[in-house]
Structure 1
């Protein structure tokens, strides 16, 4: 049975993902309403796109900064710093009245989010049990989707409020998540793997004991502690941890692993999901707006999509650690590509004939697309990005991969309005092709990581001479089955 500390840390990271979701959704719920438009003097579509998308630039910069200082600060202090900056940014956003000030405030908030978003998946992966690591990340992503849904319905509710408080209050409500993050982060210990990699073995053992809910001399705790210590020694012997390791292919395949992490984060965003989330309530979204054809309250229908998005996020809880990462990626992305191809034809019919039937079918497929995304892609991406990195490069690698996510997110949010306006239904052909293009690299280059400890994942990439039996990759699963009963150093040296 896991100790209370595991659940406290999971609560912390869950609040972080709630905040990410709320932040991703809050602007979509307020930017098209009259109070926001009046405060900012009816901004053009281009300026509106910049106000929304500039946040992603701040997040990207924050992620890059985390790559440089996060390993030195540690997981705990990185989260504290990010939350403090975000709290200031939220207050700044809620108080401004000009577009320039709002852009500056969005950048400040983004900087803080970059620290949180880069660090929280790493912390969760480093404290979660190997057999259910994916499920813990799924829990976080369900809460991210709950945050998006909450932001959307909050914006919908405040649409009936007059004056600038109709948008200022939803923006200020970010503090509801940020303040508890600060409070919890003050009292949790550091990650045991970070402690071990910084020469604090005894503290690492103490934290592992609390995570397991067992005495420090219990066989399970000792076995995991020795496994982590062995991984630290191996990586130290290979010189892992330097920035230069990211630029050439070292013996732990650090560059390859970084490229995999960056690729999957790029795939997640370039596939078009945030184009849907940010602009679903906007008249810009789907020129011809098939939601308006299906319902006389299209905003309510869009809200139903986000509610389904949250509900569907519970499905991968039961799949990610049984089917594995690769199968979920491949099956669901293939489905997403097919849906975009189908939607292209349906939207063309909506835009040329105003067909209510085509609009209804397009709406149904939108629900299917959102479900496939959250089932096979969303939780999978954040779990995979953190666990695929070697220990001493985990913070750097995860931060750089997260920066790729945010800069791609910025690009999609920025070009989606213009793409829809200029290309109409043809715009969706691009996303169909992009999603289909993900399948070959995932199939050929992405290894399966389900059920493996973070140290055993290293064995997939380690050279034959680094760890005795690691040349037999099939031995990894055998090693995992024996790990709790037999001290890992015996497995590695017998």
Structure 2
């Protein structure tokens, strides 16, 4: 694996760390009584406002995806990531200085806006600089950084419990800023992706980036890499209007609707797996089985390690070794079993039970669930969707998938506190059913993309490679001759 590719992928994947911290910090923030009293008054309880604080973050994500679809193509993947880091810093500052619920909600909205941009563009950037044989591993680095971010958020929240007064939650919220600042700075030291450069007819720069990305390869390979990217983008654009609105319309055309639906389904099922609910509301769950206060925060901190361990296992044993489809359907079956056990234990040992073995077993299975989610899904839900789209739809298609994910997250965030309060353990049946359905779809209908270039994956959906169809494009005219000549010129220059 090219060390330069790995280095820039790690810089960009730091966006996953920003998302992990921003998403995870709210769980421990809600667990601090000082926060609840400050925001909700002496009762320290308000299920609707709690749901609003969590759900508005997901609403921000939804808005961020619309910005990314345009910005990533117009201004580049690189500078879109940089802007997202700046917006995340601003959102964290608002939360840290929040004087009321309204200001807190505004801060969470901007943090969500930034993370919606990050989730929509970081996998695209990494996929476009990764070689096909290592793409599952390299894109998986984002999942690794998300897990580290979640873990860091849990321990930052736990450490906040040792402060006094409102510092218990203000200091942890402020710790969202360093990662976002570093992400923005890092973007000044990474290249544009070669596909974006080719798409904007900056061929010399694209050639230079390809050489840096694959500098240990032969000149023949470098020439073929450029030619395949150039010709495929030419083929995709032939006879099409590629402005933003037309591109979004194309996502729902007969030719691309299956790819769009598949990407949206995978990202939505990532939410309906139950992972976000367990992460954001774990303090409520721990309280329901008898663990509160600093003990609850300590358990949250230990819980964070499980995602990191699972992600390490993914990178070592699953990434680019297992088939994508096998990883997803086995993972769905695993989560079904884990949530079924958690639901049974929650029903058998409700809050206030005198037998500690039941609550302990429930927490143990939550930990195993976290490990399994990281192993099978934390990276894979980003690897597969970003592989499905052609260049001119990639950022917009993934953005739409993240939008659908955010909409599901908004609904879950708003109803979860109320559902836990009114139906308790029965709420978990929703996630058992959704994981079962997802596993069925993955097993029977998901095409396999492992080991294929981003251009070759189009074949799985009925498209032909540019090498097969470029001869069919009308090159008799002046424009066609120029395109042909440019491709040959660059190939010979390499």
What TM-score do you get using the length of structure 2 for normalisation? Answer: 0.88
Instruction: State the 1:447 CA deviation.
Output: 0.8
Match of 1:75 in 2: 77
Q: Distance in 1 between matches of 2:92 and 2:422?
A: 34
**Per-residue deviation, residues 302-331 of structure 1 (Å, max 9, x unmatched):** 322221221111111121201121101011
Instruction: State the 1:22 CA deviation.
Output: 0.5
**Per-residue deviation, residues 406-462 of structure 1 (Å, max 9, x unmatched):** 221222222111111111121112211111111222222211111111111112223
Match of 1:45 in 2: 47
Question: How is 1:1-400 mapped onto 2 (pairs within 5 angstroms)?
Answer: 2=2, 4=4, 6-40=5-39, 41=41, 42=44, 44-214=46-216, 218-237=219-238, 239=240, 241=242, 242-250=247-255, 254-282=256-284, 285=285, 288-289=288-289, 297-317=295-315, 318-351=317-350, 354-400=354-400
Q: Distance in 1 between matches of 2:20 and 2:204?
A: 37
Please list every run of 5 or more consecutive structure 1 residues that lacks an aligned counterpart in the other structure.
471-486, 489-494
Out of 300-309 and 51-60, give the one that drifted further.
300-309
Instruction: State the 1:298 CA deviation.
Output: 3.9
Q: Secondary structure at the match of 1:248?
A: coil
Q: Distance in 2 between matches of 1:307 and 1:257?
A: 34
Q: Secondary structure at the match of 2:30?
A: coil
Q: Distance in 2 between matches of 1:177 and 1:227?
A: 36
Over 3 Å counting, the alpha-carbon distance change for 1:275 and 1:357 in structure 2 is: same
Moved over 6 A (4+): none
The answer to whether the 8 A contact 1:246-1:258 is kept is: yes
Q: Distance in 2 between matches of 1:413 and 1:75?
A: 29
Match of 2:473 in 1: none
Instruction: State the 1:80 CA deviation.
Output: 1.8
**Per-residue deviation, residues 263-299 of structure 1 (Å, max 9, x unmatched):** 00000001211111111123xx26731657xx99343
Q: Distance in 1 between matches of 2:258 and 2:305?
A: 37
Over 3 Å counting, the alpha-carbon distance change for 1:372 and 1:51 in structure 2 is: same
Instruction: State the 1:349 CA deviation.
Output: 0.5
Give RMSD over aligned pairs.
2.4
Q: Secondary structure at the match of 1:351?
A: coil
Q: Distance in 2 between matches of 1:464 and 1:16?
A: 34
**Per-residue deviation, residues 145-164 of structure 1 (Å, max 9, x unmatched):** 11111111111111121122
Instruction: State the 1:468 CA deviation.
Output: 3.3
Over 3 Å counting, the alpha-carbon distance change for 1:238 and 1:354 in structure 2 is: farther
Over 3 Å counting, the alpha-carbon distance change for 1:297 and 1:221 in structure 2 is: same
Match of 1:405 in 2: 405
Over 3 Å counting, the alpha-carbon distance change for 1:327 and 1:236 in structure 2 is: same
Instruction: State the 1:370 CA deviation.
Output: 1.2
Out of 192-201 and 324-333, give the one that drifted further.
192-201
Instruction: State the 1:246 CA deviation.
Output: 1.4
The answer to whether the 8 A contact 1:320-1:328 is kept is: no
Q: Distance in 1 between matches of 2:128 and 2:467?
A: 21
Over 3 Å counting, the alpha-carbon distance change for 1:196 and 1:465 in structure 2 is: closer
Please list every run of 5 or more consecutive structure 2 residues that lacks an aligned counterpart in the other structure.
471-486, 489-494
Over 3 Å counting, the alpha-carbon distance change for 1:270 and 1:465 in structure 2 is: closer
Instruction: State the 1:193 CA deviation.
Output: 0.8
Instruction: State the 1:260 CA deviation.
Output: 0.6
Match of 1:473 in 2: none
Over 3 Å counting, the alpha-carbon distance change for 1:337 and 1:469 in structure 2 is: farther
Over 3 Å counting, the alpha-carbon distance change for 1:20 and 1:211 in structure 2 is: same
Q: Distance in 2 between matches of 1:169 and 1:465?
A: 53
How many residues are aligned here?
A: 463
Q: Distance in 2 between matches of 1:142 and 1:364?
A: 22
Q: Distance in 2 between matches of 1:296 and 1:104?
A: 28
Over 3 Å counting, the alpha-carbon distance change for 1:27 and 1:113 in structure 2 is: same
Instruction: State the 1:355 CA deviation.
Output: 3.9
